[in-house]
């Protein structure tokens, strides 16, 4: 009787869960420790960041003949997808890798949309404030202007795949622009593709 009951439950589960395909990466074996979703997740950011870092460092774009380091400012990172994501998840990893490489430093005093760390400017507003020891306040002409700007865009393309599935592709585009010349000296692209059920939207 128990066997019959178990079999019925199993068949019932199969019937009601149906044959909807679970999201999976295109061309990659699924990792077992984390379920795959159709939206951008941590693994996608890691993949994009790792590929970008390797490509950037291998390109020699950050190599300086005089042994000095480039100062890089963070440009605009456009999220052109249907998901509300924090683009810092991608950028932070690239910044860490750039700093670790010893080839570049990142400025937090200038950034598209305003300074990342406002303290650099806030402290300077204390000049002529008698409450503060003036010799401890940063001097004029000490902030480094950036040599380069790192900007990018995350794009998404969704198309129906087969009868029941949809294919979503994420394109992580990064550009390193030499500010003096306005020329892009490095560009990187990383693509992540996933296939899953077309039943619902992917956000």
Partner 1 sequence: MNRFYILIFLIFFLSGCTAITGHGELLNSFEKTVEKSSCDYSFVEKRVEKKDDIILWASQGGILSRDCFDYKKSNYMFDQAENIYKSDVDLQSNFSKTRSKTSSILINKNINEYTGNEYEKIMLNTYKGLNSMALNDFEDARVEFNRALDRQRRAKEYFQKDIIKAQNRSKEDKNYQKAQNKQTQKAIYDNYEDIFSGFEEYSDFVNPYATYISSLFFLLDKDFSKSRDLLKESLAMQPTNKQIKKDFELLDELMGYSKNDKNYAWIIYENGQSMVKKEISMSIPLFLFTNDLYYTTLALPTLYERDSSYEYIQVENQKSVIIANMDSVIKAEFKKRFPQIALEATLNSIVKTYLQYELNQQSPIGGFLGAFYQGLTNKADIRSWTTLPKNFQSLRVELNHEPIIIKDDKNRVISTLLVDNNTHVLIYIKSSSRGNVKVHKIIKGRR
Angle between helices 42-59 and 88-101 (to 10 degrees): 40
- 88 contributes a contact to partner 1 by CB under 8 A: no
C-beta of 105: minimal distance to partner 1 in Å? 27
- 160 contributes a contact to partner 1 by CB under 8 A: yes
Strand order in the sheet with 24-25: 24-25, 183-197, 165-178, 148-161, 70-80, 104-111
Which residue is it, tokens 């990342």? Answer: 116
| Residue of 39, 81, 107, 151 interacting with partner 1 (CB under 8 A) | 81
- Cα–Cα distance for residue pair 201/82, rounded to 1 Å: 9
C-beta of 4: minimal distance to partner 1 in Å? 22
- 92 contributes a contact to partner 1 by CB under 8 A: no
Residues between 11 and 40 with contacts to partner 1, criterion CB under 8 A = 16, 18
- Cα–Cα distance for residue pair 98/157, rounded to 1 Å: 29
Nearer Cβ to partner 1 (190/198)? 198
- 190 contributes a contact to partner 1 by CB under 8 A: no
- Cα–Cα distance for residue pair 172/190, rounded to 1 Å: 5
Q: Segment contacting partner 1 (CB under 8 A): 52-60, 82-90, 97-105, 174-182?
A: 82-90
Nearer Cβ to partner 1 (85/105)? 85
């Amino acid at each position: 009787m128990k066997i019959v009951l178990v079999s019925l439950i199993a068949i019932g589960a199969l019937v009601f869960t149906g044959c909807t395909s679970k999201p999976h990466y295109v061309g990659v074996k699924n990792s077992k420790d984390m379920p795959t979703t159709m939206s951008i997740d941590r693994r996608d950011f890691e993949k994009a960041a790792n590929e970008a870092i390797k490509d950037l460092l291998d390109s020699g774009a950050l190599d300086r003949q005089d042994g000095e380091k480039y100062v890089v400012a963070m440009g605009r990172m456009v999220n052109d997808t249907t998901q509300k994501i924090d683009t810092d998840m991608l950028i932070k990893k690239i910044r860490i890798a750039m700093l670790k490489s010893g080839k570049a430093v990142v400025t937090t005093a200038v950034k598209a949309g305003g300074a990342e760390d406002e303290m650099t400017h806030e402290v300077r507003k204390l000049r002529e404030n008698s409450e503060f020891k003036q010799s401890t306040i940063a001097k004029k002409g000490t902030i480094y202007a950036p040599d380069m700007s790192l900007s990018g865009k995350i794009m998404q393309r969704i198309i129906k795949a087969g009868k029941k599935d949809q294919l979503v592709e994420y394109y992580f585009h990064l550009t390193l622009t030499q500010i003096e010349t306005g020329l892009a000296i490095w560009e990187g692209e990383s693509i992540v593709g996933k296939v899953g059920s077309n039943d619902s939207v992917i956000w």
